[in-house]
Amino acid sequence: MKVLLSVFSLALLVALTWICEAPAQSWDFIYEGDEIPDDPVLGDNIWNVKGTSEICEVTDNDELHIVDPDDKTCHLLRDAAEAGKGTLEARVKVLSQSGADYTILMGIEDAVGYAWLDLFPDRVKIDSGDSHDVDMTEYHILRITRDEDEVMAYVDDEEVLKGVLRPTSDRQGIIFGSGSTGGTGEHYWDYVVYTLAGAFSPAELPNYLSTLAVDSKGKAATCWGMIKSRH
């Protein structure tokens, strides 16, 4: 029996080592929601704000909490001169939304075009495209990818939407948060990560939460056990 247990333990160790190996791709930028995005303490990781960060707060659980009134917005962006290929992921929940579809959003954009994922309490939608029903009042891991003109969206590592790039001539780079001054909403952002190295599926670049030995809220986790979002 001891021999069998030893063999099993060795096999398990080998399997875990293989599972937990670092992926070939990695996130270029990580924001963990534990500081106001335009706080100078973030140094080179600071976000530009269109509107005001006065409507943002960091919760005791290190989440960015945004409450949009109908006369203010907190539109967060990081410049990228070229974003022809990119992967943007966030763990988000949306408690309320009213106004334009892009009142709450995340996206990748440049002078050629934009790829936005619009967020609602009951669904997500590629801007000017199709929508996917999901209870966004609970946390979910959302991902949007851009491969030149092709746009794809994922919820909890599952591909749910395909779309096309929308043309534009005046965009900034990576964006998230509030997109419409006239709209209102309440939303929480646990983390936001991205890379402009390519448009990667979760199989090619695992979700950020699943790569942590301990998750971003200090909870014990295994590297394979958090591929799907929790809570």
pLDDT of residue 213 exceeding 70, the answer is no
Q: Would residue 217 count as lying in a domain?
A: no
pLDDT at 18: 43
Residue-wise pLDDT tens digits, 152-185: 999 999 999 999 999 976 777 999 999 888 899 9
Q: Would residue 1 count as lying in a domain?
A: no
pLDDT at 122: 98
Share of the chain above pLDDT 70, in %: 81
Q: Would residue 227 count as lying in a domain?
A: no
Q: Would residue 192 count as lying in a domain?
A: yes
Q: Would residue 127 count as lying in a domain?
A: yes
Q: Would residue 202 count as lying in a domain?
A: yes
pLDDT at 21: 52
pLDDT at 203: 97
Q: For residues 76-85, give the mean pLDDT.
A: 89
- Count of domains in the chain? 1
* pLDDT-wise least confident of 53-57, 121-125, 147-151, 168-172: 168-172
Query: Which range of residues forms the domain containing residue 88?
Result: 25-211
- Alpha carbon separation from 164 to 85, 89, 111 (Å, rounded): 13, 18, 15
Q: Would residue 174 count as lying in a domain?
A: yes
Q: Would residue 16 count as lying in a domain?
A: no
pLDDT of residue 2 exceeding 80, the answer is no
pLDDT at 96: 98
Q: Are 78 and 29 in contact (CB under 8 A)?
A: yes
Rounded distance, CA 110 to CA 45, Å?
19
Whether this model's pTM surpasses 0.85: no
**What is the chain's Cα-based Rg?**
19
Residue 214 has phi, psi (to 5 degrees) of -125, 130
Rounded distance, CA 99 to CA 86, Å?
28
pLDDT of residue 97 exceeding 70, the answer is yes
Residue-wise pLDDT tens digits, 102-144: 999 999 998 889 999 999 999 999 999 999 999 999 999 999 9
User: Residue 71 sits in a domain of what CATH number?
Assistant: 2.60.120.200
